[in-house]
Structure 1
Amino acid sequence: MRIRWTIALLAGLASAGSVLAQEPAKLRGVVELFTSQGCSSCPPADAVLQKLIGQGDVVALAYHVDYWNYLGWQDTLSSKDNTERQYAYARTLGRSNVYTPQAIINGRDHLNGADLGAINVKLDQFHQDGKGLTVPVSASVKGDELEITIGKGAGKANVVVAYFDKQQLVSVKKGENSGQQISYLHAVSDIETVGMWEGQAMTVTLPANVMDKTGRAGMAILLQESSPNGDPAGIIGATVLTIGGEG
């Protein structure tokens, strides 16, 4: 199933004619927001994510979790996989619980997802401390293939691809946000590991030989370390491809 989704997205990218990539040199870090349509504290964080995307110097992704669905509204973008990723981060960070809205910064620390100032301060701090995006990652569509290029660095990391929808407008009819119409950007619909990096420059090529179209409009490539038990940890490189720009 995930292989088919990869092929379909690449087909859409290849046929779209307008594929934009964020410049790796300008990227300060990665912000992963764990959010829910059923959480009354989350809309301000969803708005912050939109501002981060607008800054142009952050890879910003939204993961809708499913553990608030019991409150009366089934989050239309939620998934068990997103919830499992948040709990995996909790294990990496030595936490016993999770919350929304939670922003994970570079896979290394967490903050209130609605605090734009604190998020930007943390991104700058990590960049200055050498805990930012230290390994160059770039991606480009060439014909019916996606070519991911990763530079040299220290250590080992997974090459992770997160597929997202550029924007969705949702009318919430029940629960804590009942009656609100909320715009959700960069909601992750699937995530998979497509390779392993061991410190040397490498290229990962993904084929796209089925030209059926997809509703997805983008993909983030994350070079992500793992904790000793295999949970996601520090992100040391990243880039994003989107169809037709942001907005």
Structure 2
Amino acid sequence: MPFCFRALIVLAGLLCSSAVFAGEVRTPKGVIELFTSQGCASCPPADSALSQLVAQGDMVVLSYHVDYWNYLGWTDTLSSKENTERQYGYAKTMGRSGVYTPQAIINGREHVKGTDLAVINAKVDGMQKSGEGLTVPIGAAMRGDEIEIEIGEGQGQAEVVVAYFTKRQMVDVTKGENSGKNMEYWHSVYDVQSVGMWNGKKMTLTLPGKALGKTKKDGCAILLQSSGPGGEPAAIIGATVLMAGRKKN
């Protein structure tokens, strides 16, 4: 089954609100996907940078915990092989032979070091100006117990991907390279689902919404993402975020 149809697809994206952070992103400038690990000594600064991107309130931001550093003595409590596969999928799309942490993927098109906020913001702004930003409008809201997604017109074809995430969580790391640290993580993706295909025309999708607002299920990001010849994740052309509790007017 193609990579993008295996619970890893695109997903990408979202921003959430809290008493400390800015409100939800309604018209995002871009999508940032951070690949990180609790067992990576270089990752805490990137995790902190991600929280600052959330605070900016103008982008869809997602965090994917990979599992390939678990052998260093600490098993990342948020990691999954699917997240690792997604990162390797991007590597193939971009013609790279390997992966690294902390790595930030921007709009599914380019990668940069996840700690460099200035570069990330500059890349997002540059993509907007060059036509490589989010060009297809997407709206999402809760209607009763269902999620209603509305996608506008545009060019091309893309998957409609829903990435479920936890807004914020704290983790005590007791072993490995970050031993003794109490780590804060935002927008950690724990499930990704491909829910349909978009062919350039307006469309509306209705999904069960019972997953939102229960236990750790705080929200989801809806993404329009193209794929490579082998189903690898590629350019993201539209995105929005839906937090538990947002109702349709």
- The Cα shift of 1:242 comes to 1.7
Matched position secondary structure for 2:167: strand
Matched position secondary structure for 1:176: helix
1:126-162 alpha-carbon deviations (Å, 9 max, x no partner): 0000000000011010111110000000000000000
Q: Give the aligned partner of residue 64 of structure 1.
A: 65
CA–CA distance in structure 1, aligned partners of residues 166 and 24 of structure 2: 15
Letter in 2 for 1:216: K
Matched position secondary structure for 2:154: coil
CA–CA distance in structure 1, aligned partners of residues 96 and 167 of structure 2: 31
Letter in 2 for 1:93: M
Instruction: Decide whether the 8 Å contact of 2:142 with 2:245 is kept in 1.
Output: no
1:77-136 alpha-carbon deviations (Å, 9 max, x no partner): 000000000000000000000000000000000000000000000000100000000000
1:46 equivalenced with 2:41 (yes/no): no
CA–CA distance in structure 1, aligned partners of residues 97 and 216 of structure 2: 36
Instruction: Decide whether the 8 Å contact of 1:21 with 1:239 is kept in 2.
Output: no
Q: Give the aligned partner of residue 225 of structure 1.
A: 226
Q: Give the aligned partner of residue 25 of structure 2.
A: 22
CA–CA distance in structure 2, aligned partners of residues 117 and 208 of structure 1: 36
Q: Could you list the runs of 5+ residues in structure 2 that have no partner in the other structure? A: 1-22
- Decide whether aligned partners of structure 1 residues 100 and 152 sit closer, same or farther in structure 2, where only a CA change above 3 A counts: same
Instruction: Decide whether the 8 Å contact of 2:212 with 2:219 is kept in 1.
Output: no
CA–CA distance in structure 1, aligned partners of residues 116 and 50 of structure 2: 10
TM-score by length of 2: 0.87
Q: Could you list the runs of 5+ residues in structure 1 that have no partner in the other structure? A: 1-19
Q: Give the aligned partner of residue 109 of structure 1.
A: 110
Instruction: Decide whether the 8 Å contact of 2:212 with 2:244 is kept in 1.
Output: no
CA–CA distance in structure 1, aligned partners of residues 167 and 241 of structure 2: 11
CA–CA distance in structure 2, aligned partners of residues 119 and 108 of structure 1: 12
TM-score by length of 1: 0.87
CA RMSD of aligned residues (A): 1.7
| Percentage of matched positions with identical amino acids | 62
CA–CA distance in structure 1, aligned partners of residues 212 and 105 of structure 2: 35
User: May I ask how many residue pairs the two structures share in their alignment?
Assistant: 224
- Decide whether aligned partners of structure 1 residues 181 and 113 sit closer, same or farther in structure 2, where only a CA change above 3 A counts: same
- The Cα shift of 1:209 comes to 6.7
Provide runs of 4+ in structure 1 moved above 6 Å.
209-212
- The Cα shift of 1:207 comes to 2.7
- The Cα shift of 1:215 comes to 1.9
The structure that is helix-richer by fraction is 1
211-220 or 147-156, larger mean C-alpha shift? 211-220
Letter in 1 for 2:91: A
